[in-house]
Amino acid sequence: MNSILEIDGNIAVLTINRPDKLNALNRETIESLHDHLSQVREDRSIRVLIITGAGTKAFVAGADIAELAHLEIEGGEDLARRGQQLLFDFVEQMPKPVIAAVNGFALGGGLELAMSCHIRYASENAKLGLPEVSLGLIPGYGGTQRLTQLVGKGKALEMITSAGMISAAEAQEWGLVNKVVAQENLLTEAKALAATIARQSPEAIAHALETVRGGFEMSQKEALNNEIKHFGACFGTEDFKEGTSAFLEKRKPEFK
């Protein structure tokens, strides 16, 4: 299996499992991840997903270079389109938070996958970069857009044009990862955050994810109107009744 899904209560961990190739993303791996992501999306009992890489060396060392080396123009476009639909956009559009636990190299498609996740934690040994121009390519799994959103145009263009890698500490300074921890604590820390998130209203979280994401596809005016719409929709949910009642009754909410 090129990916492994483990479910523990309301938290799931999805491991990209091709360690002998540094978890490089070939078609089979992307399809396997898509199947597991679909399962997580449909399973209402799962509140938060963590994505990590097998082994201690790599999160994902990029798209599989052996697989793309012989493609021509149409095949290249098809690879990017298919990957974006099945994996990268699919992760970003999940109605529940996805945390990347970046446990080593996150290069090319690996960094693009981490950037499709909503939150990123990294281990101290992680190295991040978009080396595509060293191969005569550009990032094709959303990297030109999501890196620019996360770190701004100047830093994004420095990373993309130099094909350079940055350390986990630098990535934190850049705002590319939220937190850096020792590798042995990475999953524990990611699970602790997941547990905190899992205690909040899943319906409100889904609205928040959709509203923040939508803001990148709309004008500021449309995005603020969209926020009004989603804010209003929260008032029609069971979670809103439970959250406000629990507060007034001085008890902890229990969201179903």
Q: How many CB atoms lie within 10 A of CB 119?
A: 19
Catalytic residue among 74, 112, 189, 227: 112
Residue 132 known to be catalytic: yes
CB of 104 to ligand COA, least distance (A): 9
**Which residues, other chains included, contact 99 with Cβ-Cβ below 8 Å and sequence gap of 6+?**
48, 49, 50, 51, 117, 118, 119, 120, 121, 190, 193, 194
Q: How far apart are CB 198 and ligand COA at their closest, in Å?
A: 33
Q: How far is the CB of 215 from ligand COA (least distance, A)?
A: 29
Question: Of 129 and 202, which CB lies nearer to ligand COA in the complex structure?
Answer: 129
Nearer to ligand COA by Cβ, of 99 and 165: the residue is 165
Closest CB to ligand COA among residues 132, 203: 132
Q: Which is nearer to ligand COA, 56 or 245 (CB)?
A: 56
Q: Length of the chain, please? A: 256
CB of 117 to ligand COA, least distance (A): 18
Give the end-to-end CA distance of the chain in Å, rounded to a whole number: 32
Contacts of 223 (CB under 8 A, 6+ apart): 211, 214, 215
Which of 132, 217, 242, 254 is flagged as catalytic?
Answer: 132
Structure tokens at 256: 């179903």
107 contacts: CB under 8 Å, gap ≥ 6: 60, 61, 62, 127, 128, 129, 130, 131, 165
- Is residue 223 classed as helix, strand or coil in its secondary structure? helix
What is the C-alpha to C-alpha distance for residues 192 and 208, in angstroms, rounded to an integer? 20
CA atoms within 13 A on the CB side of 89: 10
3-class secondary structure, 240: helix
Q: Is 63 or 193 the residue whose CB approaches ligand COA more closely?
A: 63
Residues that bind ligand COA (CB under 6 A): 21-22, 24, 61-66, 105, 107-108, 131-132, 135
Is 170 an annotated catalytic residue?
no
Q: What is the C-alpha to C-alpha distance for residues 27 and 32, in angstroms, rounded to an integer?
A: 9
Measured from the CB atom, is 90 or 105 closer to ligand COA? 105
Residue 70: count other Cβ atoms within 10 Å of its Cβ.
7
Quote the least distance from Cβ 9 to ligand COA, whole Å: 34
Q: C-beta of 89: minimal distance to ligand COA in Å?
A: 18
Catalytic residues: 112, 132
